[in-house]
């Protein structure tokens, strides 16, 4: 479709593209740049993982909403003396989980870049729960987090860019 897109841009007299988006949008923006179309890309992904950028505009929204959600969840988690596991965006970057956990005061953060030992984590989170006077604990998990020796959790059919739905680290599987 790229040749057709270039024809349409020329027919409409569009001098440059300004794609605002994440991986898929910006990867096509790169393709258009490689075809000679002037491109000014604006990174909007919530994962904050676009190479060559320090900050993506969707990241702030993701972190803010995550912090609000965790604060709202804290009351019921504490009153029922539970462990809350909050899965957040972060296919290949754990920054959303890490920063949200820090700002919301969660006990632990699992990130995509570091596979975790489920037995060690269980011991740590139970110790966190016991150390809390209200007997509860909270943990954030990047959607791309993996158990040591395991794979990321994918489900559903691939989208137009070949991506399947990512996440579900809390769902029981045969590999655990």
Residues classed as catalytic: 47
Residue with tokens 């959607």: 143
Residues 6+ apart with CB under 8 A from 169: 85, 87, 110, 141, 143, 145, 146, 147, 153
Closest CA to 70 of 98, 121, 105, 46: 105
For 122, other C-beta atoms within 10 Å of its C-beta total: 11
Angle at CA 131, nearest 5°, toward 130 and 132?
Answer: 90
């Amino acid at each position: 479709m790229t040749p057709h897109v270039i024809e349409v841009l020329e027919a409409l007299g569009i001098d440059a593209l300004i794609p605002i988006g994440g991986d898929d949008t910006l990867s096509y923006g790169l393709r258009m740049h490689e075809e000679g179309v002037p491109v000014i890309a604006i990174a909007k992904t919530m994962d904050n993982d676009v190479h060559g950028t320090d900050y993506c505009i969707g990241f702030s929204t993701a972190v803010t909403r995550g912090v609000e959600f965790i604060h709202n969840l804290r009351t019921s988690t504490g009153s029922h003396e539970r462990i809350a596991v909050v899965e957040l965006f972060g296919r290949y970057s754990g920054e959303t989980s890490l920063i949200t956990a820090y700002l919301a005061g969660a006990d632990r953060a699992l990130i995509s870049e570091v596979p975790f030992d489920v037995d060690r984590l269980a011991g740590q989170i139970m110790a966190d729960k016991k150390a809390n006077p209200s007997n509860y604990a909270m943990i954030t998990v990047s959607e791309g987090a993996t158990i040591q020796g395991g794979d990321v959790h994918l489900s559903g059919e691939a989208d137009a860019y070949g991506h399947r739905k990512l996440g579900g680290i809390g769902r029981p599987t045969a590999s655990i």
